[in-house]
Copies of this chain bind each other. A is one copy, B any other.
Amino acid sequence: MLKLTKTVEYALISMNYIENNSNGKPVSAKSISDQFSIPEELLAKVLQKLVKYKMLESVRGPYGGYKIKTSTKNTNLVYLIESLEGPIGIVDCSISNDCSLLDSCNIKSPIDSINQNIKSVFEKTTLKDIIKGI
């Protein structure tokens, strides 16, 4: 409950590792997977999504791999998480309005408020914070 997914953790670990081990050269999925014992195919899919959403760029072929896009170091975690996992919300109705209790629900308003506070924690944290360590 209230957990991040491994996908998100792998993304953050990778961004940090790439930033600190790149020197301008691309870092391969394999090298990250070795370093942290993350299943290679799984990690590759995560990195590919980060490329899709412009947080990394990729270089194919031998000596290829992934590089950080410096322009996205100010990206906040809501963007990263939602890119990987879809909308953040602590209950169904904060995402989709399809809860069957919606009409009778007596806690929606305070829950919405909590949800907003949770989101703002992730909004205030940027990739820069993760890459440096706080």
Complex partner residue of A5 from B1, B9, B111, CB under 8 angstroms: B1
Assuming the contacts A107-B9, A107-B130, A121-B118, asked whether A90 and B35 have C-beta atoms less than 8 A apart, the reply is no
Instruction: Tell me, in angstroms, the Cα distance from A52 to B119 when the chains sit together.
Output: 32
What 1/0 flags go to A89-127 for Cβ under 8 Å of B? 111000000001100111101110110011001100100
B residues less than 8 Å from A3 (CB atoms): 1-2, 89-91
Q: Count identical subunits in the complex.
A: 2
Complex partner residue of A133 from B77, B104, B109, B132, CB under 8 angstroms: B109
B residues less than 8 Å from A12 (CB atoms): 107, 111
Assuming the contacts A9-B91, A109-B134, asked whether A35 and B104 have C-beta atoms less than 8 A apart, the reply is yes
Chain B: which residue is nearest A104 at the CB level?
Answer: B36
Chain B: which residue is nearest A106 at the CB level?
Answer: B16
Instruction: Tell me, in angstroms, the Cα distance from A1 to B85 when the chains sit together.
Output: 8
Instruction: Please give the residue numbers on chain A whose beta carbons come within 8 Å of chain B beta carbons, in ascending order.
Output: 1-5, 8-9, 12-13, 16-17, 20, 35-37, 77, 81, 85, 88-91, 100-101, 104-107, 109-111, 113-114, 117-118, 121-122, 125, 129-130, 132-134
7 new A-B contacts at CB < 8 Å, known A2-B4, A13-B105, A110-B134: A1-B88, A2-B118, A4-B90, A9-B91, A16-B106, A16-B107, A114-B122
